[in-house]
Amino acid sequence: MLGVTVLAALLACASSCGVPSFLPSLSARVVGGENAKPHSWPWQISLQYLKDDSWRHTCGGTLIASSYVLTAAHCISDTRTYRVALGKNDLTVEDEQGSLYVDVDTIYVHEKWNSLLLHNDIALIKLAEPVELSDTIQVACLPEEESLLPQDYPCYVTGWGRLWTDGPIADELQQGLQPVVDHDTCSRWDWWSFKVKKTMVCAGGDGVISACNGDSGGPLNCQAESGSWEVHGIVSFGSSLGCNTLKKPTVFTRVSAYIGWINEKMQLAHLALGLHNLSDTMIRTLLLSALVAGVLSSGLAASLSHLGRVVGGEEATPNSWPWQASLQYQSGSQWYHTCGGFLVAKNWVATAAHCVSNSKTYRVVLGRHSLSTQESGSLTVKVSKFVVHENWNSNQVAQGNDIALLKLESSVTLTNKIQLANLPASGTILSNNYPCYVTGWGRLQTNGATPDVLQQGRLLVVDYATCSSSSWWGSSVKTTMVCAGGDGVTSSCNGDSGGPLNCQLNGQWQVHGIVSFGSSLGCNYYRKPSVFTRVSYFISWINSVIANN
């Protein structure tokens, strides 16, 4: 339920990727290959272009997230209009059960793509809308960054390419076993020599089985020890002598060499989306606010929550997080929840910078459990002004400073249902695996419904060294942020942006984070923890804003 979604980033083999509902029939024989079992490679897509009012298959590709497809750069032309066909087995059946067609929003071709040398032959396609995953449409796992497969590792190439040199394109999806050829062998003078670079991977070359024209951009599927399938290659080129020439294996773009590039492109695209579509409550980070003592001791909940499992979370005990706020905006005569927040002074609420816009009118609801009910003890206060961090840049969300303070029109009276959040000491860093709880009214699952009652979810802190490693969030995470979760089960989700990460120290609850962003691959992806603005970094800023306003 809590959701943070914007930044993108790839996961190395998440528990929900690379496991088809229909297991492939694996035998050794896409020139020299065989028909694949229908929908046994559910991440395989057909990239199609429009010509004379009809759509034509041109390349393969791989679904790596609900909105993203990986393909080859050489498949893309600025002069064509494209669509992506998913869940397909037979390309001649337009309305094949379980299939769908999606328009293309944006295509990112690698900046260093060289069409002469075929270097950096990779492109990322952002779909016009996310697809709903099903038995026939699933995402592939990606390998660990810079991972290399050993000689003769068995992999399968899939696609609708030509059945033989200069032959017809297949109607039904084909598969073919292609053992990996290591770089030392593939770069020998009588193999591919200097044409093969270390950013490529070779497979095949036995003179029998090979990818052929029309398979460009499609995946080289290799099964990990866990049993899930990882896409290690993107079909790039083969021999002009024919589709299956001895010692001329198919050459693929090595996906593990481009994990950072893929992450970067996905993150940039999703950050822009999330920030400029607040009505969809896309995930954002929020800034927690500032200390001030009140009538009641701050950070001491009147009734302790049953601490358990927001995507993958559970309903909170009513009023057990009494500093939790709902930030709402006005549209017509109605008010709509857009972000979370928390009370840091009697007339100040902290939230995320990306949650606020000068074009909207806001109010804050406090002491509330059910957003649809006028509950006893709750109150609604208009926002008179808000202060966004001066270094916040909505075009560079990954740079941080995603924090804002909302000044209320009037001070609130503290009660057992409305209390101040306690903030940590400046510079405090929580240890790895420290247990915290994220709270909010975010979506219950990826693209799912928004709950009516407050949710909570237990998230363990992930230290900076781990969270910033290449197979986690990489350079998208800064020291001004804190990560929590990443177990693939519990996470914050859309609509929780700006809400608190609550952590108990010495019997007292402190707000250590403001929900900022998460993975565009879904609300609860393995190794893609929720990312929060680290409150302890901004204590001086919070105090200064409150004192000067």
| Residues whose CB is less than 8 angstroms from the CB of residue 14 and which lie 6 or more positions away in sequence, other chains included | 141, 488, 521, 525, 526, 527, 528
Q: Which amino acid is at 498?
A: G
**Spatial separation of the C-alpha atoms in residues 337 and 340, rounded to whole Å:** 8
* 117 burial type by CB count under 10 A (0-12 exposed, 13-18 middle, 19+ buried): exposed
**Residue 266: phi, psi to the nearest 5?**
-65, -40
The residues pairing with 90 across neighbouring beta strands, listed in sequence order, are 172
User: Which residue among 16, 66, 187, 216 is the active-site one?
Assistant: 216
Amino acid at 53: D
Q: Assess contact for 330 and 299: CB atoms under 8 A.
A: no
| 176 contact partners, CB below 8 Å, separation of at least 6 | 29, 30, 31, 32, 33, 34, 156, 157, 158, 204, 209, 210, 211
Q: Please state, in angstroms and as integers, the Cα–Cα distance from residue 477 to each residue in 139, 280, 463, 484, following that order.
A: 24, 24, 11, 12
Q: Is 337 a catalytic residue?
A: no
Q: Is 13 left (phi over 0), alpha (psi -120 to 50) or beta?
A: left
The alpha carbon of 241 is separated from its chain's Cα centroid by a whole number of angstroms, namely 41
Dihedral angle, C-alpha 392, 396, 399, 402, nearest 10 °: 40
Of 74, 110, 354, 389, the active-site residue reads 74
Q: How far is CA 275 from CA 6, 141, 278, in A?
A: 8, 27, 6
- Is-catalytic flag, 74? yes
3-class DSSP state for residue 114? strand
Q: What are phi and psi for residue 206, nearest 5 degrees? A: -90, 0
Give the helix ranges, DSSP H, for 43-182.
none
Q: Which of 46, 67, 121, 187 is catalytic?
A: 121
All residues at 6 or more sequence positions from 451 whose CB lies less than 8 Å from its CB, including other chains:
1, 315, 441, 442, 443, 444
Catalytic, 216? Answer yes
> Which active-site residues does the annotation give?
74, 121, 216
